Amino acid sequence: MAAYDPQVKVVHTDRHRGHDPRVETYLGEPVPACEVPERAQIIRDALAADEAFEIVEPAGHGSEPILAVHDPGLLRFLEEAWPAVQRQRIERDFLVADTYPTRGMFQGMSEAFVAARPEPSAIGGRTGWWGLDSSNPIRPGTYDAARWAVDVALTTTDLVLGGETAAYGLCRPPGHHAAAAMAGGYCFFNNAAIAAQAIVAKTGERVAILDVDVHHGNGTQQIFWRRQDVLYISLHADPKRLYPFFLGHPDEIGEGPGRGANRNFPMSLRADDAAYLATLDNALERLADEPGSILVVSLGFDTYEKDPIGDLALTTAGYHEMGRRVGALGRRLVILQEGGYHLGALGENARAWLRGAAGLPAADAAAVPAADRAVRGTIPRP
């Protein structure tokens, strides 16, 4: 018999492994990649060893939910990119753009004129056309992995629409930097935005997205910028200091019908649990009078005190408390993985957050080995 009934369902597939970047660049210099397959494996293993969780496989959902959010050109590019590299017989095993269409290039030209510029045909030009930055190399298995990350998000959504109070999608690659017509920041499709759109379409309710990754979710903000029915709330490092640099400021509140449905909360350098949780409480006040029964969480652990991103300073105990406060909102939760790169702590941080969200005590990781727990069928409560 399970120690906890109901268990929190964790949607996971190992199909993410084909997206296995080895290097990214830091100021142009090659450095070891942060967003690696071990991340998802570590979180999966930590949750599989805890009887509060049950791992389930995703189901395929096809292209339609992706096209409800993304430009068909982005989908086509990601599908065609690796085969195009192969046709060119370039001696390399990854694809990264080095030329991007940035704002100064089009200065003074009308929006309609700029929108009518044609997509290049060369693969280097196409990669820049659909990309934000050089931190997300395309590998042979990237497209398949990115498609499965969307299916993980949509299966998680189905579970919650089917009556689960909360479910967690172990999405990899992550999604929140991907805009309607742009990949970037380790992201290809915006898993959380696709989930939110699917919820709106199926329920007709308003949906809120809470983004607690250390980076501003510029893609999610862009996708719902003019939408009143999807509220985007993000806590993140000040973009003056940290990627994505060009969006994430507090005056970005949405436009048109979406005015007021976008809220950014940049944090000060090395903000700790207390500072973060105080800002979280402020941010969640915006949710109080917002209709809708489901909250999508873009969950990142790159706010961790020892994360290589190195901007904020949260602890494992802080994650449990953050999860607890989000769970206590009384909304059903579609929780989707975004960033988090400290491999040694990722498992415990995910476990702490999710146990908090499920109203469970923070487990004492050292108390009983996983094998013993399975035999005894119970988890010691502190």
Residues found near ligand SP5 in the complex (CB under 6 A): 26, 34, 135, 174, 177, 185-187, 213, 215, 243, 300, 302, 308, 310, 338-339
Q: Which residue number, 65 or 339, has a Cβ lying nearer to Zn ion?
A: 339
State the nearest-atom distance from the C-beta of 163 to ligand SP5, in Å.
30
State the nearest-atom distance from the C-beta of 350 to ligand SP5, in Å.
14
Compute how many other C-beta atoms are within 10 angstroms of the C-beta atom of residue 357.
26
User: Which residue's Cβ has the minimum distance to ligand SP5?
Assistant: 339
**330 Cβ contact list (under 8 Å, min separation 6):** none
Selected catalytic residue, list 16, 177, 216, 320: 177
Pattern of binders to Zn ion over 197-236, x per CB under 5 A? ----------------x-x---------------------
Q: How far is CA 14 from the centre of its chain?
A: 17
With 0-12 CB in 10 A as exposed, 13-18 as middle and 19+ as buried, what is 105?
exposed
Written as six digits, the tokens of 138 are 């395309």
Query: What, of ligand SP5, Zn ion, none, does residue 10 touch, CB below 5 to 8 Å by kind?
Result: none
| Contact (Cβ atoms closer than 8 angstroms) between residue 87 and residue 39 | no
Query: What, of Zn ion, ligand SP5, none, does residue 185 touch, CB below 5 to 8 Å by kind?
Result: ligand SP5
The rounded distance, in Å, linking the Cα atoms of 172 and 194 is 14
The rounded distance, in Å, linking the Cα atoms of 218 and 192 is 12
Pattern of binders to Zn ion over 284-303, x per CB under 5 A? ----------------x-x-
| Contact (Cβ atoms closer than 8 angstroms) between residue 153 and residue 193 | no
Q: Which residue number, 51 or 338, has a Cβ lying nearer to ligand SP5?
A: 338
Query: What, of Zn ion, ligand SP5, none, does residue 26 touch, CB below 5 to 8 Å by kind?
Result: ligand SP5
Determine the residue type at 354: L
Establish whether 177 is a catalytic residue. Answer: yes
Written as six digits, the tokens of 281 are 């409480």
The pairing of beta strand 23-26 with beta strand 29-32: antiparallel
Query: What, of ligand SP5, Zn ion, none, does residue 337 touch, CB below 5 to 8 Å by kind?
Result: none
Q: Tokens 């990264």: give the residue.
A: 96
Give how far Cα 108 sits from Cα of 116, 129, 156, Å: 15, 19, 44
Pattern of binders to Zn ion over 308-347, x per CB under 5 A? -------------------------------x--------
State the nearest-atom distance from the C-beta of 137 to Zn ion, in Å.
17
Compute how many other C-beta atoms are within 10 angstroms of the C-beta atom of residue 112.
7
Which residues bind to Zn ion, rule: CB under 5 A? 213, 215, 300, 302, 339
Catalytically active residues, by annotation: 177
